[in-house]
């Protein structure tokens, strides 16, 4: 079955590589999506450190990181999630933690993605306006990440 599903929010426009996608193409897509997640975590980490008092609040940096996080959430990265790239496929157990259920549960996964888009928009609107307001808006962003990971990402081995 080759489903091409377009998520409004762009995460899992479950795509789109040809059925005979090479192992190399699959591995590149996996690398790209993990890097994308790392870039997202880097930006959230800056904000989290400020919220926890581990790093001095800096309005400009906070605003930039929150805007990045929101912009990242708007990318359409469907091509990074080709069918056949879940962690149950031969040879992929050590390369990806993406659970097969991702490809079977549209649109739930897109809704999870939308939670990130919405929460990061709220945060980006105010992150430069002071530490208190940053603290009040960061929680839902972190939860939006965790909400998807809980259902769609395998535990670390």
For residues 117 and 63, give the distance between their C-alpha atoms in angstroms, rounded to a whole number: 16
Give whichever of 109 and 127 is closer to ligand HEC, judged by the CB atom.
109
By the criterion CB under 6 A, which residues form the site for ligand HEC? Answer: 11, 30, 33-34, 37-38, 40-41, 44, 69, 96-98, 109, 112-113, 116, 141, 144-145, 148-149, 152-153
Q: State which residue, 22 or 38, has the beta carbon closest to ligand HEC.
A: 38
- Quote the least distance from Cβ 128 to ligand HEC, whole Å: 18
Phi, psi of 86 (to 5 degrees): -85, 165
Q: How far is the CB of 154 from ligand HEC (least distance, A)?
A: 8
As measured in angstroms, the least distance from the Cβ of 148 to ligand HEC is: 3
Q: Is the dihedral of CA 43, 44, 45, 46 positive or negative?
A: positive
Alpha-carbon dihedral sign for residues 68, 152, 1, 22: positive
Q: Smallest distance from the beta carbon of 136 to ligand HEC, in angstroms?
A: 17
| C-beta closer to ligand HEC: residue 16 or 148 | 148
Q: Which residue has the tokens 């993605």?
A: 113
Task: Output the smallest distance, CB 9 to ligand HEC, in A.
Answer: 8
Nearer to ligand HEC, 67 or 113 (CB): 113
Please say which residue, 105 or 136, places its beta carbon nearer to ligand HEC.
105
CA distance 68 to 29: 21
Q: Are 50 and 58 in contact (CB under 8 A)?
A: yes
CA dihedral 145→146→148→151, nearest 10 degrees, is 170
């Amino acid at each position: 079955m080759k489903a091409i599903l377009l998520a409004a929010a762009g995460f899992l426009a479950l795509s789109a590589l040809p059925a005979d996608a090479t192992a190399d193409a699959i591995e590149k897509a996996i690398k790209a999506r993990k890097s994308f997640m790392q870039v997202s975590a880097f930006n959230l980490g800056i904000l989290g450190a400020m919220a926890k008092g581990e790093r001095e609040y800096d309005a400009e940096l906070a605003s930039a990181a929150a805007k990045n996080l929101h912009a990242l959430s708007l990318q359409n990265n469907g091509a990074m999630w080709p069918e056949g790239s879940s962690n149950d496929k031969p040879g992929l157990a050590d390369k990806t933690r993406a659970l097969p259920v991702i490809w079977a549960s549209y649109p739930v996964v897109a809704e999870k993605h939308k939670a990130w888009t919405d929460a990061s928009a709220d945060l980006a609107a105010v992150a430069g306006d002071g530490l208190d307001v940053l603290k009040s808006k960061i929680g839902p962003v972190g939860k939006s990440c965790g909400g998807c990971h809980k259902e769609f990402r395998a535990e670390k081995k």
